[in-house]
Structure 1
Amino acid sequence: MHWSEVDLPVRAGLPALTTALRERSAAVLWAPPGSGKTTLVPPAVAELADEFGGGRVVVTQPRRIAARAAARRLADLLGEPVGRTVGYAVRGDRRSSAATRVEMVTTGVLLRRLQRDPDLPGVAAVVVDEVHERALDADLLLALLVDVRAHLREDLRLVAMSATVEAERTAALLGSPPVPVVEVPGALHPVEVVHAPLPPGVLRTDDRGVTPAFLDHVAATVRRALTERDGDVLAFLPGVAEVGGVARRLADVGADVLPLHGRLTAAEQDRALTPGVRRRVVVSTAVAESSLTVPGVRTVVDAGLVRQPRTDHRRGLAGLVTTRVSRAAAEQRAGRAGREGPGAAYRCWSEAEHAHLAAHPEPEVAVADLTGFALELAVWGSPDGAGLALLDPPPAAAMATARRTLADLGAVDDDGAVTDRGRAIARVPADPRLARALLDGAALVGPDRAAEVVALLAEDVRSPGGDLVAALRQARRERPAAWRRSVADLRAHVAGEGAGGGARERLTDDLAVGAVAALAHPDRVARSRPGSAAYLMVGGTGAVLPRGSALAGTPWLAVADVDRRPGERDATIRSAAPVDEDLALEAAAARWREEDEVTWAEGRVVARRVTRLGAVELASVPLAEPPVAGVAAAVREGLRQEGLAVLPWTDAARSLRERLDFLHRTFGPPWPSVSDARLTAEVETWLGPELARVRGTRDLRRIDVLAALRRLLPWPEAGRLDELAPERLAVPSGSSVRVDYSGEQPVLAVRLQETFGWAATPRVADGRVPVLLHLLSPARRPVAVTADLASFWENAYPQVRAELRGRYPKHAWPEDPWTAPPTRGTGRGPGRGTGRNRAT
């Protein structure tokens, strides 16, 4: 059968698609899963390419297994072997020829081709499949292809295929005005949804991952589906370990139980994708969720979990974490049961839980580690992604972290531009940290050992006792297929490296493993803390080995895997290998620093010249003449620890500070703030030259604080200090009384007899602020508090006079305080002051 004879729903949209490509050279095809777009669109685009001079059509798939399966499916329709008209290229495996017209590739393969040669010679069109998954490399690939079409290849035709309503947004990304969107209605068969919620008390996950009890529930649901439905069953699990766990639980079901995931060999994957004689149960990861048809499936059992890219902080790599599926992903999985006829989808959660699932998965760019992404941008010549048509901008914080990591690896310079080392790292199909370890490690320990260790680091390995060397020896004994394939692939990227002997000859296996691990994670090189079983890593985190580890007592470690739980001070080392100090310094050379350090410790300034490897102190010597700026910072810290009370505050200094504070609150700048926080933060400004002599608390207690505060007075405004905030005020008796500025409002505490004849309340700050009068008895106890002296004489004074004249008969208590002369003493005669009339 020729591809043109295949009756799939997408056929209805092919005329509109080819028209769009003729007129705009780019289009978005929106078609639901199972509509046949991966099968029929590529050959249709290839026929169109013949109208414009021919060339190859490259079709990207998110996964290797999908690329191989799609190529095989299309080749079968043509009646040809894979590698003739239809071929594929995935990491470590390529089948194509000069006659190949349609080539299925993984997104990563095409990214590397673009970086090598952006012109894409011989390529007439690119079809990017499954863009709705919002994978990080697919988002980047689309952006780079748009850039290529704008600046290098206007003739390059581009199709983005999506299964979600974000098609319009993608169309706007590909052109201005937006390129056409060709919509193809779905023709899937009906799928009955059956909810199979967890039994009471069963958890899906705990601290260790997916629980055995939940895997029991999934297996039981598969058994139920086999009993209630016809046809093959496709079960979705989040990862390889869970696939194996459920497969083992179904060993006795009387059907062929076949695992399906990316770590299997091509032959093992083909077996799961090929109909058999007996009924089958295919237990798969998300590789079967899209771009891949599993023939014969009429029932889906969905565990409702998925592994999604996140920063794996435990291993310091881009990693996968187990999360709940989105509603969109659940619908897509269920659709696998309706491709060949009516089917059923058993969901291992309740209908109520389904309503609370996220509508769509988050774009990887928002949640994933961006180190590899940032390196690709740097290689392209746009380190920050400016000007590229990205569907979502990368988060600034994640990009900053990624660039720091790349700088540590020597992959980018201080401006973020890619280095020669960075270009070499980018050519290796691995996380940049592991690629750096492979390239530099090959010269140090030999290419074979470097490839073996890097392949091990790429896996989530839990080494017995945290011993990574023991894990390597186990891998060499057991030779698991996935590890062997990874070693061979990595080894091909360092062909010829490390030939002719060299430094690697002196390294034992232990040190060789440690050297490569240290190159991958220079921030995790760790030195033991003196007198402790704990370690300090270059990145600043403390770590401890598991109890009984054979590595205990090793002075230096290269840590590959750590686990830090909430509430624990130190992380637990899950995988590490020994290194010596020379290897540690070589691996983490970017973190080596020699700097002068001035700190405050135990009441004194400590000045040292310190050599560090990140947070790990290697050596130090005292500094006889520390820099003034360093002393100032140390004193600042000392004042934060001990408080400003450590300074010798005189009454005059306190008074000046209170007056300045009043003026700052009243007028603002240029009158300075003199709060504790501001004085502590600006020690250089007001303590000034006296800082150079400070070596501890004793020197702080010798500082002239009054003189220091005067340095804060603004000029020329300082000339009005006594006018705006007078230290004393004259009262009618002739006395000069101190004003208290320590509170919210200035206070004048004065004996009542000294204020007779004073009609108007005194004001300060250019008349803006009334002084609060504390009127005192002859015994200097407050008898009244007022900021309205006239009102006091009219309303409150008669009562005060009545209460006090019997208690203090020798003092003057005139009926008319407006005209009575003020007095300082106890007599009834006039004081030295002058009487005031009511008008004053």
Structure 2
Amino acid sequence: MIRDDALEALPVRAALPALNHALADDGAAVLVAPPGTGKTTLVPLVLAGLVGGGPARRVLVAEPRRIAARAAARRMAWLLGQDVGEDIGFTVRGERVVGRRARVEVVTTGVLLQRLQRDQELPGVDVVVLDECHERHLDADTAAAFLLDVRGTLRPELRLLAASATTDAQGWARLLGGAPVVEAEGVSHPVEVVWAPPARPVRPPHGMRVDPALLAHTASVVRRALAERPGDVLCFLPGLGEIARVAGLLGDLGAVDVLQVHGRAPAAVQDAVLSPGARRRVVLATSVAESSLTVPGVRVVVDAGLAREPRVDHARGLSGLTTVRSSRAAGRQRAGRAGREAPGVVYRCWAEAEDVRLPPFPAPEIKVADLTAFALQAACWGDPEASGLALLDPPPGGAMAAARQVLTAVGAVDPRGRATRRGTRLVRGGLHPRLGRALLDTSGAAAEVVALLSEEVPRSYGDDLSAALRTARRGGDAYAARWRAEVRRLRAVAAERGGRNGTGGVPEDDGARGDGLVGRAVALAFPERVARLEGGSYLMASGTRAELGEGSALRGTPWIVVAVADRPAGSGHARVRLAAPVEEDVAREAAAALRTEEEEVRWAEGDVLAQRVERLGAIGLTVRPLKDPPPGLVREALLEGLRREGLGLLRWSPEAVALRQRLAFLRLRRGEPWPDVSDGALHAHVAQWLEPELGRARRRADLARIDAGQALARLLPWASGEAARLDELAPERITVPSGSRIRVDYGDPERPVLAVKLQEMFGLDSSPVLAGVPVLVHLLSPAGRPAAVTADLASFWREGYRAVRAELRGRYPRHPWPEDPAAAEPTRHTKARPRR
């Protein structure tokens, strides 16, 4: 019997006429309705004609989570006074309860994608409802894009409704081709906000890790809420592990029931949460309770302020869920759960000042998640670049390129990005491409291992996947039960697809060869994560180093393959969460696409290193000397040596050093066509001055034999004829009045220096000039020690000479010290030896 009283109480009823009108006129609409208004339960019943007297239609409702799909189906069946499997059914991965006359079927978005890939027309379906669009799950965005494609090309009569508690309504309306937006008012009560930050700072979340101090604080806030406020308490935590930990801290609440709600909770627990209890309850839940589930009796919300979102660490080739601060939108959504039935209160486990720094909305998965499965969906849909899909946010180019590399490696797409037969089999079987490869390439024998990899393994199972498999086989916990159901499903998928060899038979997993099979399966799924022990840590084929935890049973294993890893805060290495031992030959086979053998010629340890290297990705397998390396590679190695260690590797005679300094002086004073001889310029134009000597060199010793001065001479401006003026503009030596030829020091390109004995400059009334620059003259005593420095010799004779003469003539009486040096005879000798 239909429960009319419950149906009448649902606030969305007031919006039904506008919604029916919008769908009739436009075929598509956006419904915005707060949680608890009946958008998930009443609207599909009305669209199917099961209540309200409308025409009979078949309605498909897509939910982002399995728990929400089951709960919605049960609630709709209860409203009709039926059991699930009559007019209402549901299908989730591994479970299908749908009767022959079902008019409403609730599915997960993943199941919807599989159906669209099998038959794009969705025969027999009249209306598709995409629920909880605001969560921006990747499967939901993809399904919406595919459905819009179907409406535009194959089924213009297919009606499409995007429904959400809070969403970018106008964005979805534009995406649906200008569809009308219908808003339903909810019944909400005031919710008081209590800021309850920890007394001491806690470490921010990183990877999957949450500071235990925050969880202990959250448990204490739950106890405080129970003492201060009436009604049931709904506490939001990021994941299963945190829920279990807080439940343990609340184990002595006495007359209060503690229930744990998450995507893997048993059906009995889900039913208990969705029905009012005789005793007071504390419901510990993930974000599934934000909008997908309505928990009756809640008057208090405790929000730990965290959420789990997918992330990809492209630098390390790791992907998975990570713990982040929840958005302000999620905070509003969670708080609203306390005001569904009466005035309520939300305790927020952070300071009010922090709230404004939180992100306004959760990040769309398409921007942050691993896009491998999405890229395969697009390829099987016929749009490998996803450029023709109607998406609110385009996929990032880098993430799509990385996804295509994975798909190519597992054989799911061809070099042009088009789906192969294997890719089509993977996507229709609802398998992630990586896990699908492991299942198909073992002819289904690895179903048990793939089932383990399909869902987060409890940490209590340890980090050794082989041991975790044995624990699951003998386990009696809820995880083991779900695992066994998934194993059955995977064996059925493999049998349906005929295994790798098309035999149709799928063997049971062989426990006797379990460890070897585990390693092989993981290596097939994650070939870039095969890793070899090197220097206390493991080097993965991807180039990332990973470390095992203290006490790991895998320590010392020569080869492992990493199934799950994260990156600890402040560490450059990944931390292994789950791995399996693997034999080297299996690692080589699974990662064969990453194997390379190349001639490696490089500068290392101060000389040219030439060798033939076989690698598995970044892992070096074998190294053999290379007797006759290609000259081009040798040349590049020598250039690298010159860049690293400098041009001092060449032979720099005093004449070569002087030539470089003279050229640097002319470049500074005259510019073109005089060459730039700085280190950077010489490295940049090495072909102009160091060939052919460099082409004949093979090792460091050969560089040391190259005459740098002879090579530099090639840079002189011969073509313009200016090179002939080198000795005029920047002579190596200058003839002074005594007749001596004195070397000019060009070490400072700003001003050349001439160091000469003072008596040899008598009779010269002005300083020498080179390229328009007066030379800086260092006047030396007869013993060769500096006596004076001047760039204006005439001024020195007039003003400075007298003091120098007074100081030195008593010390050197045998040398001439005339009164008028500008008119005196220059000499290299003492008074006793006249000038010749």
Q: Same fold (TM over 0.5)?
A: yes
SS of 1:494's partner is helix
Output the amino acid matched with 2:218. V
Contact 1:58 1:123 in 2 (8 A): yes
Aligned to 1:519: 524
SS of 1:346's partner is strand
Alignment match of 2:750 (pick from 745, 758, 768): 745
Output the amino acid matched with 1:385. A
Structure 1 residue 263 displacement after superposition: 0.8
Mapped pair 1:265 → 2:266: yes
Gaps of 5+ in 1: 765-769, 833-840
Aligned to 1:359: 360
Quick one: distance in 1 between partners of 2:389 and 2:86?
35
Structure 1 residue 191 displacement after superposition: 1.9
Contact 2:409 2:593 in 1 (8 A): yes
Quick one: distance in 2 between partners of 1:266 and 1:702?
82
Distance 1:665 1:41, change over 3 A: farther
Structure 1 residue 740 displacement after superposition: 5.3
Mapped pair 1:297 → 2:294: no
Of 469-478 and 411-420, the range deviating more from structure 2: 411-420
Structure 1 residue 626 displacement after superposition: 0.4
Structure 1 residue 109 displacement after superposition: 2.0
Quick one: distance in 2 between partners of 1:423 and 1:671?
66
The Cα offsets for residues 408-435 of structure 1, whole Å up to 9 and x where unpaired, read as 3333444444433333333343443223
Output the amino acid matched with 2:634. V
Quick one: distance in 1 between partners of 2:128 and 2:386?
22
Quick one: distance in 1 between partners of 2:608 and 2:529?
31
Quick one: distance in 1 between partners of 2:246 and 2:519?
36
Contact 2:318 2:565 in 1 (8 A): no
Mapped pair 1:510 → 2:515: yes
SS of 1:703's partner is coil
SS of 1:333's partner is helix
Structure 1 residue 242 displacement after superposition: 2.4
Aligned to 1:107: 109
Alignment match of 2:77 (pick from 75, 78, 82): 75
Aligned to 1:310: 311
SS of 1:87's partner is strand
Mapped pair 1:472 → 2:439: no
The Cα offsets for residues 667-704 of structure 1, whole Å up to 9 and x where unpaired, read as 88887654434545665664334345434322211113
5 Å-filtered alignment, 1:181-192, equals: 181-192=181-192
The Cα offsets for residues 464-491 of structure 1, whole Å up to 9 and x where unpaired, read as 7743222211111115222223322322
Of 381-390 and 586-595, the range deviating more from structure 2: 381-390
Quick one: distance in 2 between partners of 1:772 and 1:97?
104
Aligned to 1:6: 8
Distance 1:159 1:511, change over 3 A: same
Structure 1 residue 595 displacement after superposition: 0.6
Aligned length: 808
Contact 1:525 1:558 in 2 (8 A): yes
Structure 1 residue 814 displacement after superposition: 6.1
Contact 2:461 2:471 in 1 (8 A): no
5 Å-filtered alignment, 1:533-544, equals: 534-543=537-546
Aligned to 1:620: 623
Output the amino acid matched with 1:482. R
Quick one: distance in 1 between partners of 2:87 and 2:231?
33
Structure 1 residue 84 displacement after superposition: 4.4
5 Å-filtered alignment, 1:91-240, equals: 91-96=93-98, 99-164=101-166, 166-175=168-177, 178-200=178-200, 209-240=209-240
Output the amino acid matched with 2:245. G
Distance 1:266 1:826, change over 3 A: same
Contact 1:30 1:183 in 2 (8 A): yes
Contact 2:448 2:469 in 1 (8 A): no
Contact 1:191 1:334 in 2 (8 A): yes
Output the amino acid matched with 1:194. V
Aligned to 1:283: 284
The Cα offsets for residues 533-554 of structure 1, whole Å up to 9 and x where unpaired, read as 6543322344555566554554
Distance 1:716 1:281, change over 3 A: same
Quick one: distance in 1 between partners of 2:668 and 2:100?
82
Quick one: distance in 1 between partners of 2:386 and 2:691?
46
Quick one: distance in 2 between partners of 1:290 and 1:334?
11
SS of 1:508's partner is helix
Structure 1 residue 187 displacement after superposition: 3.0
Distance 1:663 1:346, change over 3 A: same
Distance 1:47 1:743, change over 3 A: farther
Quick one: distance in 1 between partners of 2:193 and 2:217?
17
Aligned to 2:325: 324
Distance 1:528 1:152, change over 3 A: same
Contact 1:307 1:322 in 2 (8 A): yes
Contact 2:446 2:509 in 1 (8 A): no
Output the amino acid matched with 2:192. E
Aligned to 2:448: 451
Output the amino acid matched with 1:519. L
Distance 1:153 1:647, change over 3 A: farther
Contact 2:196 2:221 in 1 (8 A): yes
Mapped pair 1:482 → 2:482: yes
Quick one: distance in 2 between partners of 1:669 and 1:417?
56
Aligned to 1:648: 651
Distance 1:656 1:472, change over 3 A: same
Counting aligned pairs with the same residue, the percent is: 51
Structure 1 residue 593 displacement after superposition: 0.7
Contact 1:136 1:373 in 2 (8 A): yes
Aligned to 1:424: 425
What is the TM-score with the length of structure 1 in the denominator?
0.83
Aligned to 2:243: 243
Of 288-297 and 251-260, the range deviating more from structure 2: 251-260
Aligned to 1:578: 581
Mapped pair 1:603 → 2:600: no
Structure 1 residue 202 displacement after superposition: 7.0
Distance 1:24 1:814, change over 3 A: farther
Aligned to 1:631: 634
The Cα offsets for residues 704-747 of structure 1, whole Å up to 9 and x where unpaired, read as 32343345567845755846964559789699876655435252
Distance 1:749 1:570, change over 3 A: same
SS of 2:491's partner is helix
Distance 1:54 1:526, change over 3 A: same
Structure 1 residue 107 displacement after superposition: 1.9
SS of 2:291's partner is coil
User: What's the C-alpha RMSD, in Å, of the aligned pairs?
Assistant: 4.3
The Cα offsets for residues 513-570 of structure 1, whole Å up to 9 and x where unpaired, read as 11112112212222344xx665433223445555665545544332334465466676
5 Å-filtered alignment, 1:673-822, equals: 673-677=676-680, 679-680=682-683, 686-711=689-714, 716=719, 719=722, 722=725, 726-727=730-731, 741-747=746-752, 749=754, 764=771, 770-771=772-773, 773-777=775-779, 779=781, 781=786, 783-784=788-789, 786=791, 798-804=798-804, 810=816
SS of 1:68's partner is helix
SS of 1:493's partner is helix
Structure 1 residue 511 displacement after superposition: 0.8
Aligned to 1:380: 381
Distance 1:275 1:679, change over 3 A: same
Aligned to 1:406: 407
What is the TM-score with the length of structure 2 in the denominator?
0.83
SS of 1:310's partner is strand
Quick one: distance in 2 between partners of 1:461 and 1:579?
22
Distance 1:10 1:501, change over 3 A: closer
Quick one: distance in 1 between partners of 2:413 and 2:597?
22
